[in-house]
């Protein structure tokens, strides 16, 4: 039996979908459904039980028999807002709650896989290398990244990377992210913006080495991401791993691919970046995938154009969610 926290969220529900396609449904989902519509991500999925986060936290403390025999905990639940300013909330939700789960896993000899974040790399001055020996040198640019960083550091201090797997996701996009609001991928937000106005707004660049729209990101399609997660889980691989493509592309490239998928001419408008983002903005990300390739397998990534086309045509245009009863 697997426990998936954040199982109604973007990556969590996509991973449950992938498990379902493999015939696995002995799953307990944990989440905080709140008032948004991420509950809709659960509708097509098959699982044994669901618990709200606060109830699950009590179960962890009591070492409840319902969860103590889990084969693995896939901890993907977190506040992922890079603009969240309530530091106390982030510490409790992303750090303390993660420690609660980790202590439960340790006490029950349970394998744990959890979501760290590429946001821990900050500006990228130290590179994007998934080396647990050097994570203390990283300086995140926002409180979200820091809340992930201190849990990584706590795991290292307690020598847990020989028992757990930490995954640093880059810019993952794809179906089931509608509920994320401003934290949706550009593809998702661009589809709505282009549908409404016929054009797309991108931030101007404020560094001379990057022209407007030429800022670069390591984009990863969700269908590739869940395959990578499952390989690590199935083989109970331990340590920190980047989950990215290792192939950064520009915002302009992404924008043109979106317009092409929508069968529209590209019209891009460059706008001023809000002041509060200027000192927190990452101009370039590229996950170093050497460690993953060596310890896991060499992933054949979905070409970005193909991934965007699949997402736009089969999900954004149709409002479909990931459904294990439909073809991959």
Q: What is the pLDDT of residue 206?
A: 94
**Structural tokens at position 313:** 């045509």
- Give the rounded percent of residues in the chain with a pLDDT score beyond 90: 88
180 among known catalytic residues: yes
Of the listed 180, 247, 280, 291, which one is catalytic? 180
Which element (helix H / strand E) includes 249? strand 249-250
Cβ–Cβ contacts within 10 Å for residue 288, how many? 16
Q: Which CATH architecture has domain 2-173+219-246+284-300?
A: 3-Layer(aba) Sandwich (3.40)
144 among known catalytic residues: yes
Measured between alpha carbons, how far is 306 from 33 in angstroms, rounded to an integer? 32
Q: What is the pLDDT of residues 274-319, one digit of tens each?
A: 988 888 788 988 999 999 999 999 999 999 999 999 999 999 999 9
Phi-psi region of 243 (alpha: psi -120 to 50; beta: other; left: phi over 0): beta
Instruction: Determine whether 130 is exposed, middle or buried from the number of CB atoms within 10 Å of its CB (0-12, 13-18, 19+).
Output: buried
pLDDT at position 38 over 70: yes
b/e map 151-179, b = 16+ CB within 10 Å: bbbebbeeebbebbbbbbbbbbbbbbbbb
**Structural tokens at position 120:** 């821990």
List, in sequence order, every residue forming a beta bridge with 240; answer none if it has no partner.
166
Closest CA to 50 of 30, 34, 75, 68: 30
pLDDT at position 44 over 60: yes
CA dihedral 49→33→11→67, nearest 10 degrees, is: -30
Measured between alpha carbons, how far is 198 from 190 in angstroms, rounded to an integer? 10
pLDDT at position 327 over 70: no
- What does the domain layout of the chain look like in residue ranges? 2-173+219-246+284-300
List, in sequence order, every residue forming a beta bridge with 52; answer none if it has no partner.
31
DSSP letter for 50, please. Answer: E
DSSP letter for 284, please. Answer: B
Q: What is the pLDDT of residues 220-269, one digit of tens each?
A: 999 999 999 999 999 999 999 999 999 999 999 999 999 999 999 999 99
Measured between alpha carbons, how far is 56 from 199 in angstroms, rounded to an integer? 44
pLDDT band at residue 321 using 50, 70 and 90 as cut-offs: very high
State how far the alpha carbon of 311 is from the alpha carbons of 3, 242, 280, in Å: 27, 23, 28
Measured between alpha carbons, how far is 2 from 97 in angstroms, rounded to an integer? 18
φ/ψ of 179, rounded to 5, equals: -70, -10
Measured between alpha carbons, how far is 189 from 183 in angstroms, rounded to an integer? 9
Closest CA to 169 of 155, 183, 190: 183
pLDDT at position 181 over 80: yes
Q: What is the pLDDT of residue 280?
A: 77
**Structural tokens at position 197:** 């106005």
pLDDT at position 328 over 70: no
- Region 184-193: mean pLDDT is 97
How does the average pLDDT of the chain come out, rounded? 95
**Structural tokens at position 296:** 């896991």
> Which ranges of 63-185 would DSSP assign to H, the alpha helix?
65-68, 87-90, 97-107, 143-157
Closest CA to 317 of 239, 264, 240: 264
Of the listed 144, 221, 253, 311, which one is catalytic? 144
pLDDT band at residue 66 using 50, 70 and 90 as cut-offs: very high
CB 153, CB 120: distance < 8 Å = no
Closest CA to 207 of 278, 142, 154, 260: 278
């Amino acid at each position: 039996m697997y426990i998936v926290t954040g199982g109604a969220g973007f990556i969590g529900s996509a991973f449950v979908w992938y498990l379902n396609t493999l015939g696995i449904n002995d799953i307990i989902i944990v989440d905080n459904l709140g008032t948004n519509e991420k509950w809709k991500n659960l509708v097509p999925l098959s699982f044994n039980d669901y618990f709200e986060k606060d109830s699950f936290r009590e179960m962890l403390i009591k070492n409840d028999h319902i969860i103590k025999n889990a084969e693995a905990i896939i901890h993907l639940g977190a506040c992922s807002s890079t603009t969240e300013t309530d530091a106390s909330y982030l510490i409790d939700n992303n750090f303390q709650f993660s420690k609660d789960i980790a202590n439960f896993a340790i006490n029950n000899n349970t394998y744990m896989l959890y979501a760290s974040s590429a946001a821990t790399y900050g500006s990228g001055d130290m590179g994007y290398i998934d080396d647990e020996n050097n994570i203390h040198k990283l300086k995140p640019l926002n409180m979200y990244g820091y809340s992930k960083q201190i849990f990584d550091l706590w795991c290292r201090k307690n020598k847990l990377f020989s028992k757990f797997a930490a995954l640093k996701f880059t810019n993952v996009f794809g179906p089931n992210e509608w509920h994320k609001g401003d934290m949706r991928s550009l593809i998702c937000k661009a589809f709505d913006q282009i549908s409404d106005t016929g054009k797309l707004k991108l931030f101007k660049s404020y560094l001379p080495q990057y022209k407007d729209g030429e800022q670069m990101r390591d984009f990863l399609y969700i269908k590739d991401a869940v395959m990578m997660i499952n390989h690590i889980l199935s083989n109970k691989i331990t340590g920190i791993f980047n989950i990215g493509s290792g192939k950064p592309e520009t915002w302009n490239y992404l924008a043109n691919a979106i317009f092409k998928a929508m069968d529209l001419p590209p019209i891009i408008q460059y706008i001023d970046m809000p002041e509060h983002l200027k000192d927190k903005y990452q101009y370039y990300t590229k996950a170093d995938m050497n460690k993953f390739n060596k310890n896991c397998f060499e992933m054949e990534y979905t070409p970005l154009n193909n991934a965007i086309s699949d997402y736009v045509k089969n999900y954004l245009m149709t409002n479909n969610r990931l459904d294990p009863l439909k073809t991959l």
